[in-house]
């Protein structure tokens, strides 16, 4: 061991929601933690996210008159993931979610008063936080324990194994020109996020997603370091082919990186030919796939004034008004004018809207089978009251939602399904929870829930 090497009980790589949750959980149990963050700022994708977390059966839902349960959450998660997800991980999420919701509140995370429905949810289940504040609250709680040492600007490079036992015993890390080891007697939790900024790696798994077809947004440090570190030791991965963009990102605006899902309030999605191409109520990840298959990977969400005015705007992805104020929503008095402004054939757009309105009246969408506004929730509405609006939309890859195979205690598994002793993972670096698609709020939820489970397991083993 060199003089600059560091020793602690648990090493955590990455200071986003998952890393802080793991670190805080371990510190509250009386253990010392070194938390490595390669960037100068903590927070990763967590701090820039939409701040939606999926929990079921909470006091907030009850206060909003929402009847939900862990079993319904389990059913929805499995269905959204098209049963491609690992049932044991879904169970781990569900069994630990309510406790984690309360734990986050205890740790100072503040949830807004409203509950929203979003992608993949049979009942309103989105619990809103200010994402940067939530990370700050966890960081402050971790600091207060006096047991978490945060090393910013410090990048974990490789995992270190104990030469005798082969157990993962720490990492080599780099800060400036200095390279040193950080050793943890209870091992390492990888909480290094996904690889949204590793275009080459994404393209390898999903060739249809390249920089021309979609936009890529997330924590600057998220290039797949943790994934590769574990792969070097033989870790297995899953869900890689299910990397998907989220529908509803404005293709060129750089001031607002969030998606708008006016479709979940009743808008239709049309392509450059002015035609619908999908059931708009499905997961916004599947809508992302459908969008990039359209000409120029660019489409429009088309709606009218009553859809604009419907629901509330508490959830960022439903906040049409805000995008309108930002000048991103195209407005016209008539559908013909709107078609001219977005350069789609006016007669086709008029026909598309007329046909769709007919389906709403008849209660049956003969083209794509849309039955609800979102998932199995909300009655369809006609597009008929001007002014009319269009929101240019493409798919944005906000996260990779796939990665290391883990068991329900977050032990990282090798290609034979055996645990790599001393190695745990949590958050976006983990594969298997989402399966084929993703329920809004389950990525941030998974970061907090799995972060806590990983720390508990590391300390119990």
Ligand X SMILES: Cc1cc2nc3c(=O)[nH]c(=O)nc-3n(C[C@H](O)[C@H](O)[C@H](O)COP(=O)(O)OP(=O)(O)OC[C@H]3O[C@@H](n4cnc5c(N)ncnc54)[C@H](O)[C@@H]3O)c2cc1C
- Chain residues 178-217 in contact with ligand X, contact rule CB under 6 A: 191-193, 217
Say whether residue 225 binds ligand X (CB under 6 A): yes
Say whether residue 57 binds ligand X (CB under 6 A): no
Stretch that binds ligand X, among 34-42, 59-67, 201-209, 334-342 (CB under 6 A): 34-42
Which of 222/281 has CB closer to ligand X?
222
CB 345 within 8 A of CB 273: yes
Core vs surface per residue 223-259: b (16+ CB within 10 A) or e: bbbbbbbbbeeebbbbbbebbbbbbbbbeeeeeebbb
Stretch that binds ligand X, among 12-20, 64-72, 90-98, 337-345 (CB under 6 A): 12-20
Angle between helix axes 70-80 and 87-106 (nearest 10 degrees) is 130
Alpha-carbon span 350 to 334, nearest angstrom? 10
Q: Smallest distance from the beta carbon of 21 to ligand X, in angstroms?
A: 8
Say whether residue 218 binds ligand X (CB under 6 A): yes
Find residue 10's DSSP bridge partners: 33
> For ligand X, what does the binding mask look like between residues 113 and 142, x meaning CB under 6 A?
------------------------------
The SS3 of residue 346 is helix
Q: According to CB under 6 A, which one of 120, 124, 187, 221 is a site residue for ligand X? A: 221
Size of the residue set binding ligand X (CB under 6 A): 44
Alpha-carbon span 354 to 128, nearest angstrom? 36
- Chain residues 399-418 in contact with ligand X, contact rule CB under 6 A: 399
Q: According to CB under 6 A, which one of 28, 39, 145, 185 is a site residue for ligand X? A: 39
- Chain residues 145-164 in contact with ligand X, contact rule CB under 6 A: 155-156
- In this structure, what are the phi and psi dihedrals at residue 393, rounded to the nearest 5 degrees? -145, 135
**CB-based burial label for 366 (10 Å; 0-12, 13-18, 19+):** exposed
The SS3 of residue 72 is helix
Say whether residue 222 binds ligand X (CB under 6 A): yes
Say whether residue 50 binds ligand X (CB under 6 A): yes
Please state whether beta strands 388-397 and 330-332 pair in parallel, antiparallel, or not at all (unpaired).
antiparallel
Which of 174/357 has CB closer to ligand X?
174
The residues binding ligand X (CB under 6 A) are 13-19, 36-39, 44-46, 48-52, 155-156, 191-193, 217-219, 221-222, 225-226, 257-258, 398-399, 427-428, 440-445, 447
């Amino acid at each position: 061991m060199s003089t600059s090497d560091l020793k602690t009980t648990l090493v955590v790589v990455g200071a986003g929601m998952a890393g802080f949750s793991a670190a805080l959980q371990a510190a509250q149990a009386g253990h010392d933690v070194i938390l490595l963050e390669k960037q100068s700022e903590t927070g990763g994708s967590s701090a820039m996210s939409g701040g939606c977390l999926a929990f079921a059966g909470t006091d907030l839902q009850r206060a909003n008159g929402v009847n939900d349960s862990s079993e319904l959450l389990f059913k929805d998660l499995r269905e959204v993931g098209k049963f491609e997800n690992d049932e044991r991980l879904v169970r781990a999420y569900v069994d630990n979610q309510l406790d984690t919701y309360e734990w986050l509140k205890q740790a100072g995370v503040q949830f807004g008063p409203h509950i929203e429905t979003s992608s993949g949810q049979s009942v309103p289940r989105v619990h809103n936080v200010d994402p940067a504040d939530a990370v700050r609250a966890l960081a402050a709680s971790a600091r207060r324990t006096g047991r978490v040492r945060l090393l910013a600007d410090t990048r974990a490079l490789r995992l270190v194994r104990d030469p005798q036992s082969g157990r993962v015993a720490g990492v080599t890390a780099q800060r400036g020109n200095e390279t040193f080891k950080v050793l943890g007697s209870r091992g390492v939790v990888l909480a290094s996020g996904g690889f949204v900024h590793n275009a080459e790696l994404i393209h390898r798994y999903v060739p249809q997603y390249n920089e021309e077809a979609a936009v890529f947004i997330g924590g600057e440090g998220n290039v797949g370091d943790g994934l590769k570190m574990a792969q070097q030791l033989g870790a297995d991965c899953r869900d890689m082919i299910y990397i998907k963009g989220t529908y509803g990102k404005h293709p060129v605006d750089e001031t607002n990186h969030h998606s708008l899902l006016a479709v979940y309030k009743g808008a239709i999605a049309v392509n450059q030919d002015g035609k619908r191409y999908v059931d708009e109520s499905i997961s916004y990840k599947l809508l992302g796939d459908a969008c990039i298959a359209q000409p120029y990977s660019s489409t429009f969400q088309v709606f009218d004034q009553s859809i604009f005015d419907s629901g509330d705007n508490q959830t960022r992805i439903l906040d049409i008004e805000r995008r309108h104020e930002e000048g991103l929503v195209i407005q016209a008095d008539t559908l013909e004018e709107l078609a001219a402004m977005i350069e789609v054939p006016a007669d086709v757009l008029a026909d598309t809207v007329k046909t769709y309105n007919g389906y709403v009246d008849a209660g049956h969408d003969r083209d794509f089978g849309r039955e609800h506004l979102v998932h199995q929730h909300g009655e369809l509405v006609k597009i008929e009251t001007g002014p009319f609006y269009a929101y240019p939309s493409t798919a944005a890859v906000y996260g990779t939602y796939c990665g290391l195979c883990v068991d329900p205690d977050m032990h990282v598994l090798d290609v034979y399904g055996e645990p790599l002793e001393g190695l745990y993972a949590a958050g976006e670096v983990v594969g298997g929870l989402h399966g084929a698609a993703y329920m809004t709020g389950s990525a941030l939820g998974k970061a907090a829930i799995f972060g806590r489970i990983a720390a508990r397991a590391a300390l119990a083993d």
